[in-house]
Amino acid sequence: MIGVAVFVSGRGSNLEAILNSPKLKKLVIVKAVISDNAECPAFEYAKKNSIDTYNVGKQENFIHYSDLAEFLKSLDIGLIVLAGFLKMIPETVIKNFNNRIINIHPALLPSFGGKGMYGMNVHKAVYNSGAKVSGATVHFIDEAYDEGKIIAQKKVDISDVKFPEQIAERVLKIEHELLPFVIEKFARNQISVKKNRIMLLR
């Protein structure tokens, strides 16, 4: 079993998808849910599921950003999953967890990524671009936001949508398939990293 820490900031539907995946139950153990917002629904969901929650914000159970790498190591975390976490991850964590931090992004990177591109901002930009296809991307995190190596993507047809919210709905559905799939691949040691290309092994 690989110890997983999930970082969240909002609704927590991806966290829910991870915790409800029957395959992942046999492969990983979510040891910590970490948030910059102790009030977020994702935190509540974690607490209901008896998972330890830690705040990197300003309230109780507070972990200082500079202590995060050591803290995660002390929990024997093998994989960090950013599931809607909106803050930058400290450089010490990125260095200590090389190729062990993954992020889900609600569009097909390298388009529609970068600073300010999160949640509905992404879907509005996709809508305004007139793109006929969108999707979700899971990638490794490195120092440049949304530019880490792409692990897997799944696309969805949006040619008939009338509002950005419809894109959000369709993309979220596939996020809930893609993220558990990539975590499973990681846990089974089926992600091969060669320079900037990643192969998923069977």
Name the residues annotated as catalytic. 105
Q: In this complex, which beta carbon is closest to ligand GAR, that of residue 33 or of residue 191?
A: 33
Determine if 175 is a binding residue for ligand GAR (CB under 6 A): yes
CB-CB contact of 157 with 133 (8 Å) = yes
Token pair in block for residue 130: 């007139």
106 binds ligand GAR (CB under 6 A): yes
- Residue 191 touching ligand GAR (CB under 6 A): no
Rg of the chain's alpha carbons, rounded to an integer? Answer: 16
Among 2, 4, 5, 12, which residue sits at the site for ligand GAR (rule: CB under 6 A)?
A: 12
Our finding on whether 135 is near ligand GAR (CB under 6 A) is: no
In this chain, which stretch among 43-51, 70-78, 116-124, 188-196 interacts with ligand GAR, using CB under 6 A? Answer: 116-124
Strand stretches in the chain, DSSP E: 2-8, 28-35, 53-55, 79-82, 101-105, 133-140, 150-157, 191-194, 197-200
Q: Show the tokens assigned to 42.
A: 């994702």
- Per CB under 6 A, the list member of 5, 14, 34, 109 interacting with ligand GAR is 14
Which residue, 144 or 201, has its beta carbon nearer to ligand GAR?
Answer: 144
Q: How many CB atoms lie within 10 A of CB 44?
A: 13
Instruction: Choose between 64 and 115: whose C-beta lies nearer to ligand GAR.
Output: 115
Question: What is the torsional sign of CA 184, 190, 193, 194?
Answer: negative
13 touching ligand GAR, by CB under 6 A: yes
Residues 43-82 that bind ligand GAR (CB under 6 A): none
Cα(51)–Cα(21) distance, rounded to whole angstroms? 16
For ligand GAR, the binding residue among 2, 5, 7, 10 (CB under 6 A) is 10
CA–CA dist 193, 200 (Å, integer): 9
Instruction: State the nearest-atom distance from the C-beta of 54 to ligand GAR, in Å.
Output: 17
Burial environment of residue 87 by CB neighbours within 10 A (0 to 12, 13 to 18, 19 or more): middle
Looking at the Cβ atoms of 120 and 199, the one nearer to ligand GAR is 120
Residues that bind ligand GAR (CB under 6 A): 8, 10-14, 42, 83-84, 104-106, 117-119, 122, 172, 175
